[in-house]
Structure 1
Amino acid sequence: MDLLVAIGAEKPEFLLTGQTLRDQGMAVAGMLASGWTPEQLRQVIAGRPLPDEITTTVGAIISGRIRQALSGPVPETVGAGTYMSAMSVGVATLPRQTVIPLQNCDRCDHAFRSPQPGLCPGCREDVTA
């Protein structure tokens, strides 16, 4: 819950309270335990502005963003670096990992992974058909 409270303090439009804060706090705690970093969760929750026309609650929007993020694998957080083997025999270099951010579709507002904003695969298919 601390991360959600901190996000709400920084960006009041994302402030959650009461049962919604508790429910989403449990989801965020599970994500942190499974390997998500606080920075990644900040991006998922508040990395994009809220829609111009909100027809639901902010809690529902955040819940949807969290569900969408959970539908894929935990992003890799290991960058280029080294580690010692278990027997201290030598040092190996880990490959650089690329994390593709979540974007909201410009047309339908569904989240999808892409290095740049635009249309989700479904809307791209509709436009080209």
Structure 2
Amino acid sequence: MDTPQVIAPPCAQPGSPGTSGPPDVTPTSGVIHVNTRHVSGFVIIGNHLAQHHELSLIAIGLAVHIQSLPAGAKVGIKVLTDRFPESEARITAALHELEAEGYLHRSRVRLPSGRVVTRTISYNQPGTTAPPVVVAPPRQPRRQATPTAPEPAPAPPPPPAPEPAPALPAPVHVPPPTAPRTPPSPLPQPHKPTTELLRTAAAVLTDLRRHAPQLTLKEDDIPTLVPGVAAWLERDTHPDTIRHALTTDLPTPVKHPAKLIRHRITTLLPPPLPGTTDLTPPPRPKTLVIPLQNCDTCDRAFRATDPGQCRDCRTDLRQAA
């Protein structure tokens, strides 16, 4: 009575009835395969190619197409471009991907006839060694039999060393059309450019490289930018304030220091302080206008500061006297 007795069969394993293999569970999401066994017209592709993590889909599809072709089929860029809707540039890039990963090797070889052709070797498993390819010599014309002993057949020439593939020309970058540039604003000018003011402005520009080495100016740039800094100093701007405005938030890298400083001097110019009248430009001289007068003798109009006689009447009067 101590031995347990089995009174019920064990639970059935999930899966298809009548099978002894692993359970056939249909996934609830993702891909579902419906496989039919091929008996002809197929090619074996490894998962290392079909699931490659670094190749593009165009490169994977192109490798599958090349491996499915018979030996001797043409796989040049022009042929592939005519066969598929992808552009020549995309097919060229896909061939370079396959060469980099070891699925393809292309070389330029010269045949014994002198013709240069492209030899393409496709690897279904990268890293394998290709068998040596022997190029048949050109056909010799058939000679008539002579009673002399036959000459030995010439030995086939060794296969030439593969030449590197020619480098593709770099793509030409065509910039998009741009709108016409507006001319830059004129550089501010001081109203009273004294010698001391210009000397201080030159010192501020020369000292910029100590605070921002990327703003090192050429010697010819200093006299051009001095009037703009002098206009800042004339408006009672401290040199430290000017230095901070010119060296803060610089772009990386600074390609044209002089152009950048000119732009900031022009666009960040502070307004004059209230109550400063010495910065206003001097008034323009008034144009002297001589009024019209009527001659006392002939009543002709003439210009003069005081009324009287015109020039002709004064001349006639002097001649009569």
TM-score with structure 2 setting the length: 0.21
**Greater per-residue helix proportion:** 1
Q: Which has the higher contact order (CA 8 A, sep 6+)?
A: 1
Structure (1 or 2) with the greater strand fraction: 1
Provide the TM-score with structure 1 as the length reference. 0.48
